[in-house]
């Protein structure tokens, strides 16, 4: 008979390896039960709390993930990462005020925690507090200029506030860092259309299609651009592609009908 650890009890590491094996096999519920059993023996083990909370989030068991993360915070109230995790969980639970408080607590402990700062900025932007949100994202990009998502979200906010040139620069920085990001490519193309840079916008839409051949938006927007430029044959081809991918796209149907008149 095999015994684990002292007096037959499994060690935290053995519980973890067993749980991760279950996760890899798609047995999240059993993995959660394994971590919960481990915590009955090791209630003060911070890593076990973190592992369990992560698996709960993967399984979309957010209420349990919240409770486990609160236990972890009780064990170490100065762990900024745990407050960030709590904020993400509250966001998943659609509890913005609680999420905002958690992110602010994380930043009070560690003002340089960029992930928490970015998520807080997004919450503030959703509340209409764009100025504070922009300030937070500007701080994030200044501190960690290599994070494309910070630049992307900053571009979105600049655009919403009518700061087109700043938005273009932010999107360009994001796309430079993540050239496979179709969403950023589309946002950048849309701004160039508004600026009158139609040829550049066309190139970006074509690139978005190459990056994501099933991306309906890229075909539709390029179709509109071609239609406006008088290239009706190409526009018709693109709108038909939209309807091939999404037969219920009413806007593409209307555009195609207008071309056939």
Band the pLDDT of 8: cuts 50, 70, 90.
Answer: low
Band the pLDDT of 121: cuts 50, 70, 90.
Answer: very high
pLDDT at 191: 95
Q: Determine, yes or no, domain membership for 47.
A: no
Q: Determine, yes or no, domain membership for 116.
A: no
Q: Determine, yes or no, domain membership for 103.
A: yes
- Among the listed residues 132, 128, 137, the one whose alpha carbon sits nearest the alpha carbon of residue 173: 137
Q: Which pTM does this prediction carry?
A: 0.84
Q: What's the mean pLDDT when you consider all of the chain?
A: 94
Split into its structural domains, the chain has a count of 1
- Among the listed residues 21, 19, 102, 93, the one whose alpha carbon sits nearest the alpha carbon of residue 57: 93
pLDDT at 222: 96
Range of the domain at 68: 63-75+84-109
236/234 Cα distance (integer angstroms): 5
- What mean pLDDT is predicted for residues 133-146? 96
> Tens of pLDDT along 152-209?
999 999 999 999 999 999 999 999 999 999 999 999 999 999 999 999 999 999 999 9
Would you give the distance in Å from CA 126 to the centre of its chain? Answer: 15
Identify the residue with better confidence: 258 or 8. Answer: 258
Residue 126, both tokens: 């959703």
- Among the listed residues 189, 194, 184, the one whose alpha carbon sits nearest the alpha carbon of residue 206: 189
> Tens of pLDDT along 17-74?
999 999 999 999 999 999 999 999 999 999 999 999 999 999 999 999 999 999 999 9
pLDDT at 153: 97
Q: Determine, yes or no, domain membership for 132.
A: no
Residue 205, both tokens: 């839409």
57/176 Cα distance (integer angstroms): 31
CB atoms < 10 A from the CB of 102, how many? 27
Residue 151 has pLDDT above 70, yes or no: yes
Q: Determine, yes or no, domain membership for 91.
A: yes
Residue 5 has pLDDT above 70, yes or no: no
Band the pLDDT of 107: cuts 50, 70, 90.
Answer: very high
Q: Determine, yes or no, domain membership for 92.
A: yes
Residue 7 has pLDDT above 80, yes or no: no
Q: Determine, yes or no, domain membership for 70.
A: yes
Q: Determine, yes or no, domain membership for 118.
A: no
For residue 90, give the H/E element and its range.
helix 80-92
pLDDT at 260: 83
Band the pLDDT of 9: cuts 50, 70, 90.
Answer: confident
């Amino acid at each position: 008979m095999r015994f684990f650890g002292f007096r037959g009890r499994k060690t935290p590491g053995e519980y973890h390896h067993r749980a991760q094996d279950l996760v890899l096999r798609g047995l999240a519920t059993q993995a959660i039960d394994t971590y919960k059993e481990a915590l009955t023996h090791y209630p003060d083990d911070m890593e076990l709390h973190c592992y369990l909370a992560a698996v709960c989030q993967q399984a979309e068991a957010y209420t349990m993930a919240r409770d486990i993360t609160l236990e972890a915070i009780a064990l170490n109230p100065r762990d900024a990462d745990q407050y960030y995790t709590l904020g993400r969980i509250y966001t998943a639970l659609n509890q913005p005020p609680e999420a905002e408080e958690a992110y602010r607590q994380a930043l009070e402990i560690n003002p340089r925690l960029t992930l928490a700062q970015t998520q807080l900025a997004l919450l503030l932007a959703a509340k209409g507090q764009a100025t504070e949100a922009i300030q937070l994202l500007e701080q994030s990009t200044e501190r960690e200029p290599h994070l494309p998502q910070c630049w992307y979200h900053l571009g979105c906010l600049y655009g919403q506030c009518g700061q087109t040139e700043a938005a273009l620069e932010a999107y360009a920085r994001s796309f430079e860092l993540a050239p496979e990001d179709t969403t950023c490519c589309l946002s950048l193309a849309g701004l160039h259309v508004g600026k009158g840079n139609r040829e550049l916008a066309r190139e970006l839409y074509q690139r978005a299609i190459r990056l994501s051949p099933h991306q309906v938006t890229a075909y539709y927007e390029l179709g509109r651009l071609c239609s406006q430029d008088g290239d009706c044959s190409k526009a018709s081809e693109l709108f038909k592609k939209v309807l091939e991918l999404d037969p219920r796209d009413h806007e593409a149907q209307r555009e195609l009908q207008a071309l056939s008149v």
